[in-house]
Amino acid sequence: MRQLLRNAFPPLVAFLAGNALWEALAHLLEVPLYLLPPPSRIAGALLTHAGPLGRGVLLTGQAALAGFALAATVGVAAGVLIASARWVQRAVYPFTVLLQTVPLVAIAPLLVVWFGYGVRPVAVAAFIVSVFPVIVNTVAGLRSVDPPLEDLFRLYGASRWARLFKLRLPWALPSIFAGLKVASGLAVIGAVVGEFVASYAGEDAGLGMLALTFARESHTDRLFAAVGLASLLGLALFAGVGAAARLTLRHWHASEQEER
Amino acid sequence: MWLEGVRRSFPGEVVALEGVNLEVAAGEFVAILGPSGCGKSTLLRLVAGLDPPQGGTVRVEGVDGRVAYVFQDAHLLPWRTVLANVELPLQLKGVPRAARRQAAEAALAQVGLGDALDRFPAQLSGGMRMRASLARALVTEPRLLLLDEPFAALDELTRSRLDEELFDLWRRRRMTVLFVTHSLGEAAFLAQRVVVLSPRPARVVGEVEVALPEARDATLRTTAPFNEVVRQLQGVVQQWGKL
């Protein structure tokens, strides 16, 4: 509990102080509301539009989570496949890099053609931008297995599966989690960008669509509220992955050992 | 049960072993002494069947696949407890849970780790990790135990202790042991016979029978016969320079 307090206190103070400064400057310099609304206005917008924003958080969160889960599953599986043989790596790896370089906004219309509007194309957008770091980190982790341990498993006649599940995947786990952490933030970004194009408007608008609408209407305070919520969503997903990593690795990996 | 490595060379980019002849009888404790990087590890890997020889033949008979290997460092699985690490070889061979658990506990008790079963490798000292690694090798009741400078990374005191315990284990179990080292004292203390290798490419350049008493403990290291063996080894080694 004291640990929690000690960790939560400094960022909380910084947050409050930063907002107070922002509020004061916005009033003192009389910044136009459509340019930079003060925090009080954003909080107000958050309250008056709690309904659509809440619904947006739910929709975007759902799509991001689905895309992230898909990226985690497909990414690890692809990583295992790629790391299984040199020739597979040479054949497939260059194309996975395409996932990283393809401009999401440009292919989002294609996603609409394939999947229509709604959660599905948005989840696919989240998947496309978040799968690459999972693949890369899985491959790196699997490639880094301690050679003597590979020898040991060979000496004891371990099967391919035993080697994969009892040695290589556990060994790659810290690396995989590092990939998942990067992917968690990207998934939310991918979902929001996907929603620019593929979200329903009105009742079933995700945060991305809401942000777009608010921007067009010059409701900058509401826009800030939507953007803030999207960031919080990414943060929550990241924290979830972090907690899972801690739970899994705390006994044995230096990256998750408690500080003394 | 015996092991015969007749003649083998292992040319990669560099020739590691050139025409090495070695015969080891069942139950014998042989130390292989040679300078660092002379191909001692290559030799062990050939015997273990981890690498194929590129010339000559390696014949290991009567061990029934019961070969265990101990590396220079412990190389435990960091996500497994000590007990689960020692269970691993049996698990891979499909031994049922209860039986392998019992065997692992016994092996750990033998190396003096009976009270550290549930600790993780990260929570152990270097010496304890090496003990666990030794237990992992012993749990399969190997007929042939291959040790590749197993205690080289430990401090002098821990190393002597583990040498003594290893000798005791061998005296009780009488498995065949190949022990690679670059320490004269360690070779003399442990082995019945010391095979000296030359620098790369390695060849057998001398053999010293160790005629020391069957019962050996720490006090042996200060006796005249022990020093005589070390001096003898020194002689063989000096003939071939650099160690």
Contact call for B77 and A251, based on CB within 8 A: no
Q: Across chain B, what does the average pLDDT equal?
A: 83
Q: Which residues of B touch A153 (CB under 8 A)?
A: 92
Min distance B156 CA to chain A CA atoms (Å):
24
State the pLDDT at residue A61: 96
Contact call for B50 and A155, based on CB within 8 A: yes
What is the rounded distance in angstroms from the CA atom of residue B221 to the CA atom of residue B152? 18
Contact with chain A for residue B34, Cβ under 8 A = no
Contact call for A149 and B121, based on CB within 8 A: no
Angle B49-B51-B56 from CA coordinates, rounded to 5°: 85
Q: List the one residue out of A211, A194, A207 whose CA is nearest residue A236.
A: A207
Listed by number, the residues of chain B in 73-92 with a beta carbon closer than 8 Å to a beta carbon of chain A are: 73, 75, 77-79, 88-89, 91-92
State the pLDDT at residue A179: 96
The neighbouring-strand residues paired with B194 are B31, B208
For B142-185, what is each residue's pLDDT tens digit? 989 999 988 888 888 888 888 888 988 888 888 899 999 888 88
What is the 8-class DSSP label of residue A259? P
What is the rounded distance in angstroms from the CA atom of residue B206 to the CA atom of residue B184? 13
State the pLDDT at residue B16: 66
In sequence order, what are the residues at sequence separation of 6 or more whose Cβ sits closer than 8 angstroms to the Cβ of residue A131? Answer: A70, A71, A74, A75, A78, A99, A183
Min distance A223 CA to chain B CA atoms (Å):
46
Provide, rounded to the nearest whole percent, the portion of chain B with pLDDT above 90. 29
Q: Which residues of B touch A155 (CB under 8 A)?
A: 48-50, 67-69
Q: Which residues of chain A have pLDDT under 50?
A: 259-260
In sequence order, what are the residues at sequence separation of 6 or more whose Cβ sits closer than 8 angstroms to the Cβ of residue B184? Answer: B33, B230, B233, B234, B237
Whether the ω angle into residue B225 lies within 30 degrees of 0, i.e. cis, is no
Structure tokens at B204: 């057998």
Among the partner-chain residues B68, B79, B92, the one whose CB lies closest to the CB of A157 is B92
Assign B243 a pLDDT band (cuts: 50, 70, 90).
very low
For B65-113, what is each residue's pLDDT tens digit? 788 999 989 999 999 999 999 999 999 999 999 999 999 999 999 888 8
Contact call for A167 and B77, based on CB within 8 A: yes
Mutate to test the interface with A, among B51, B64, B92 (most CBs of A within 10 A): B92
Domain ranges of chain A: 50-256
Q: Is the dihedral of CA B161, B162, B164, B165 positive or negative?
A: positive
Contact call for B78 and A149, based on CB within 8 A: no
For A152-172, what is each residue's pLDDT tens digit? 999 998 999 999 999 999 999
What is the rounded distance in angstroms from the CA atom of residue B211 to the CA atom of residue B188? 9
Look at domain A50-256 and name its CATH class: mainly alpha
Pairwise pLDDT comparison (B39 vs A17), residue with the higher score: A17
Please determine, for residue B228, whether its predicted confidence score (pLDDT) is greater than 60. yes
User: What are chain B's domains?
Assistant: 2-66+143-239 (3.40.50.300), 78-141 (no CATH)
